[in-house]
Amino acid sequence: MIRTTLSQRAKIEYEKGRRLVVPFMGFPGLSITGVSIKLAQQNYGEHFRAVKALADRFEPDVIFPLMDLSVEANALGRYTVFPKNDSATVPKDTYHLEELERLRRVNISYDMRLIGYVKTMQLMNIGLPGSIARGAYVAGPYSLAALIMGADDAAISTILEPEKLHELCQLATESIQQYIRLLIGAGAEIICILEPSAVMLGPDQFSEFSTRYVRHLAESCRYNGVNIILHVCGDTMHLIELMAGCGANAISLDGPETGFDLPAVAGKVPEDVAVIGNISSTRTLLNGSPEEVVREVSELLESMEAFPNFILATGCDLPQETPLENISAFIKTARMYRIP
């Protein structure tokens, strides 16, 4: 069982007048080390070096490696593109539901690229200070199914072929579970499930094709003493109660430009589920000035003073080009802030 959940840890800091600070960052570390995205995603030594550079410079409460939604799909044999200076992507490719039997025979724990991420986590576990919790990313079950068959086809299948889509979501869940076991064995303390494709779903479909499978992963992690964060990109106001009820220890919410009123959202979330968010990764941290970062962080912290289960974070992963002085302003403003 989890000794301390994210909401419990957030409340401990709250009682001290402080907030946990969790910028979702990985790619800006490449600007410090001078390494391309492609090299870091395929060389775990360079990957760790970028993560360590960020940890040494900013000392966040939690740190994650590079966000990569292609890992599991690539390990299942899906066509994947590896640009030099951009994240790996899984383009739309032909897929037939009859391929399930072949995919079921694939053990992704033998995939060398996936193992590279596990090795990165091992180095993070050994080489980072104990004061910084180690997080890892995995694809969400529905999003992995959507990567395999195509996002539009997956959305259509929720209506026209729901049973076959359930079979693929079940396969996706089993594959993600294999990956999670390896990450936990390597030292991951927090698993962040990335479910961006699910923002296209209505509440009933989200419950049927996402949360029922996320709940299985969350229960497994709970018994291994690991926290689960669920992140869904975009405007998820219509999904908040379902996200909060899926068994995750925390829900991560996108930036305010998507339409979020974070205090209103927090009021709908149980106290034992942490609310993580939601400084704009692109509008403010990528394109704003340090002064704008200070202002947005200060305003968000003030607006969330009534919620002990709040954790300050970026709305999504930071682009590589994010100015380091803006990240510094984000961290320093949060560290200096005191809850009355």
Half-sphere exposure of 284 (CA within 13 A, CB side): 27
Percent of the chain whose pLDDT exceeds 90: 90
In the predicted model, is pLDDT for residue 41 greater than 80? Answer: yes
The answer to whether the CB of 86 falls within 8 A of the CB of 78 is no
Distance between CA atoms of 122 and 317, rounded to whole angstroms? Answer: 22
pLDDT in tens, 162-176: 999 999 999 999 999
Query: Residue 35's pLDDT is what?
Result: 96
In the chain, the domains with their CATH numbers are: 6-336 (3.20.20.210)
Cα angle: 2, vertex 224, 124; to 5 degrees? 90
Q: Which helix (H) or strand (E) holds 283?
A: none
Q: Which of 270, 331, 334, 272 is nearest to 302 (CA)?
A: 334
For 301, phi then psi, to 5°, come to: -60, -40
pLDDT in tens, 31-40: 999 999 999 9
For 313, phi then psi, to 5°, come to: -155, 170
Chain-wide mean pLDDT for the chain?
95
Query: Residue 274's pLDDT is what?
Result: 97
Percent of the chain whose pLDDT exceeds 70: 100
pLDDT in tens, 198-220: 999 999 999 999 999 999 999 99
| pTM confidence score | 0.96
Alpha helices in 187-260 (DSSP H): 203-206, 212-223, 240-244
Give the CA radius of gyration of the chain. Answer: 19
Q: Collect all residues with Cβ–Cβ distance below 8 Å to 33 and sequence separation of at least 6.
A: 40, 46, 49, 50, 53
In the predicted model, is pLDDT for residue 1 greater than 70? Answer: no
- Own/partner long-range contacts of 264-267 (Cβ < 8 Å, ≥24 apart): 265/237, 265/240, 266/304, 266/307, 266/309, 266/310
pLDDT confidence tier of residue 259, bands split at 50, 70 and 90 = confident
Locus of tokens 């359930």: 166
pLDDT in tens, 69-123: 999 999 999 999 999 999 999 999 989 878 898 999 999 999 999 999 999 999 9
Query: Residue 308's pLDDT is what?
Result: 97
In the predicted model, is pLDDT for residue 2 greater than 80? Answer: no
Tokens of 24: 């979702």
Q: Which of 23, 118, 128, 109 is nearest to 68 (CA)?
A: 118
In the predicted model, is pLDDT for residue 257 greater than 90? Answer: no
In the predicted model, is pLDDT for residue 260 greater than 90? Answer: no
